[in-house]
Amino acid sequence: MLIETIDNQLNKKKFQRRHAGKVVMVSGASSGIGKALAIELLNRGFCVSLAARRDEIITDYLHALYPAEVCEKRCFVVRTDVSKEEDCKNWVEETYRHFGRIDVLINNAGISMRGLFEECNLDVLRRLVDVNFWGVTYCTHYALKYLLESKGSVVGVSSIAGYQPLPGRTAYSASKAAMQGLLTNIRIENRKKGLHVLIVCPGFTASNVRINALDKNGNPQGETPRDEGKMMTAEEVARHMIWAIDRRKRSLILTPLGRLTVAASKIIPGFTEKVAFSYMAKEPNSPF
């Protein structure tokens, strides 16, 4: 019901007029939520600058879905590893040079992990922090002057793990909590400058994030421990996010369980930690 309401609101001509010609940057756009965002944004008239390490995947699906005129006028693709500062700076500067403005930065790129802290190779923890925290830091730092110029939006795709740490996912939880702290601080510092900051917690979403999650030794997990068919689709998440950006929301927590978890973690933290442990222990091949 909610997604139908959002679709109706997003389809209004007023929405199209309000955002015509606006430029949205999306990291991690080769698959999952990032790909879904790219498609939804293009379908709604935005211009997009898309980044990923495997930029050829983005180019392939764009040319498969849209005519050459759309790809040339409203799409810009840059190979970017968000864990590298120079890559992030280049993506931002090339986007501004290409379109002449930046209205929204969606920090979507991220990786997950699964393994006990005591058993994890420290390089795995560094890698997650480099992507999930420093990637957001680099991109936001270099895009901020352009976003202030347009009174635009900074968006961070986070997780409930940023509020309530998940056992067996130490670096993931820590990196998302750090990212939320960063973006919240940026919001406060720029509260009189017209900058909008949105933190999104999608909940479990059907995507490649669990398949590509790292194990304790830094190798891709290669399979998902959860039933992807029962999860919210990346396309649904993308539509919710575009609605929240349009409404300039502060936060977006997409599942009832997520909202309950966030509230409970503040009121009854000890009990919430116990529940989190039990919940994650029920996963197939759980380390607990």
**pLDDT by residue (tens digit) across 8-22?**
666 666 777 778 789
Query: Kindly report the CA angle at 58 between 101 and 83, in degrees rounded to 5?
Result: 70
pLDDT of residue 19: 80
pLDDT of residue 215: 83
| CA atoms of 107 and 283, how far apart (whole Å) | 28
* Identity of the residue numbered 51: A
Top mean pLDDT of 115-124, 126-135, 270-279 is at 126-135
pLDDT of residue 230: 65
- Return the beta strands (E) in 163-249 as ranges: 196-201, 205-206, 232-233
Of residues 145 and 204, the one with the higher pLDDT is 145
pLDDT of residue 274: 92
CA of 265: how far to CAs of 126, 140, 147, 253, 279, in Å?
Answer: 26, 28, 33, 14, 14
pLDDT digits (tens, 9 = 90+) for 213-261: 888 888 887 665 555 556 789 999 999 999 999 999 999 999 989 999 9
Show me where the domains of the chain are located: 2-260
Q: Is 78 left (phi over 0), alpha (psi -120 to 50) or beta?
A: beta
Judge whether residue 3 has pLDDT over 60. Answer: no
pLDDT digits (tens, 9 = 90+) for 136-190: 999 999 999 999 999 999 999 999 999 999 999 999 999 999 999 999 999 999 9
pLDDT of residue 101: 98
pLDDT of residue 25: 98
pLDDT digits (tens, 9 = 90+) for 34-66: 999 999 999 999 999 999 999 999 999 999 999
Phi, psi angles (nearest 5°) of residue 51? -130, 145
Does the domain formed by 2-260 have CATH 3.40.50.720? yes
Catalytic residues: 172
| CA atoms of 184 and 114, how far apart (whole Å) | 27
Residue 156 CB-density burial (10 A; 0-12 exposed, 13-18 middle, 19+ buried): buried
pLDDT of residue 69: 93
CB under 8 A, 24+ apart: contacts of 217-224: 217/121, 217/124, 218/121, 218/123, 218/124, 218/127, 221/114
